[in-house]
Amino acid sequence: MIVDEEIDKGAEPSDNKSNGGNSDVTIRTKDVDLFYGDFQALFKVSVDIKPGIITSLIGPSGCGKTTLLRSFNRINERYGNVTTNGVIEILGKNIYDPDVSLPELRKKVGMVFQRPNPLPISLYENIIFGLRSHSPKSSMKDLNLDDIVEASLKEVQLWEATKDKLKEKATSLTLEQQQKLCIARLLPLKPDVILMDEPCSALDADGIERIEELISELKKRFTIIIVTHNMGQAKRASDECIYMYLGKIIEHSTTESLFLNPKEEQTAMYIEGRYG
């Protein structure tokens, strides 16, 4: 979860009904170029990402998939010397419009990183940290924090294992539990989109299986986009795949079609292990 030091004011991405957006598309990019200084990392990226499914970004290292993922909540800009051209719309709202608040955007577009990053405080305080950071103090007294913590942990299948440990430090959990906690930490902020940057890379085979099962359940409520280098995971866990190479989208289709009948030779070479 990204927490800004100061909560600024501005518009948040609105729902499709109010802004005329296409309800069949959660994220739409149009001709997006992104530069780190003089280095161009993305080239004319145009893509539609649908709600209610899991979309995987795949491709060799350095192909731009993590850069694209981090464009959706503008976290790339934290690294400095980043220039983005083109349009990225989330729920019909261009996230580069001058009235967009970054904290509000990052509430709507949550992020889970490669390695679990729970805060070194209690499980309970981890879950409500985002609420405390993003909500006016006056509104906190109206919230039933106990219920919010319980509901969030239940949604990530962690309640039974942790209900008697809520005051313990979150760093005492297993890596799998920590990653589930990091997902649970997003939920009180009611995001529309959850970005996952190789969320299983630090886990063993059993942990990977359980996180994939959780992600499959979460897609009923959230649009989920995953960066993965694991082709088996992409096939198992995603509904659609986007194959990228050298900062460009080469192919975007259903996962089944991309793996069984790729349209582009570059895609076939990658998924068959001939390079990358």
**Minimal CA–CA distance to 131: which of 88, 84, 187?**
187
Tell me the pTM: 0.88
* Domain count of the fold of the chain: 1
In a domain, 150, yes or no: yes
Residue 135: the pLDDT is: 73
Structure tokens at 228: 């993965």
In a domain, 158, yes or no: yes
Residue 88: the pLDDT is: 98
In a domain, 5, yes or no: no
In a domain, 140, yes or no: yes
Pairing mode, strands 193-197 and 223-227: parallel
In a domain, 6, yes or no: no
Residue 19: the pLDDT is: 37
Residue 42: the pLDDT is: 98
Instruction: Indicate left, alpha or beta for 8 from its phi (over 0: left) and psi (-120 to 50: alpha).
Output: beta
The answer for residues whose C-beta is within 8 angstroms of residue 199's C-beta and 6 or more apart is 112, 113, 114, 179, 211, 215, 226
Residue 62: the pLDDT is: 93
Q: pLDDT 10s digit of each residue in the chain, 276 long?
A: 333 333 233 444 444 333 334 579 999 999 999 999 999 999 999 999 999 999 999 999 999 999 999 999 999 988 889 999 999 999 999 999 999 999 999 999 999 998 899 999 999 999 999 888 877 776 777 789 999 999 999 999 999 999 999 999 999 999 999 999 999 999 999 999 999 999 999 899 999 999 999 999 999 999 999 999 999 999 999 999 999 999 999 999 999 999 999 999 999 999 988 776
Residue 80: the pLDDT is: 82
In a domain, 11, yes or no: no
In a domain, 9, yes or no: no
Exposure b/e, 36-68, CB count within 10 A at least 16 = b:
eeeeebbeebebbbebebbbbbbbeeebbbbbb
For residue 178, the tally of other CB atoms under 10 A from its CB is 21
Domain span holding position 151: 17-271
CATH number of the CATH domain containing 128: 3.40.50.300
In a domain, 1, yes or no: no
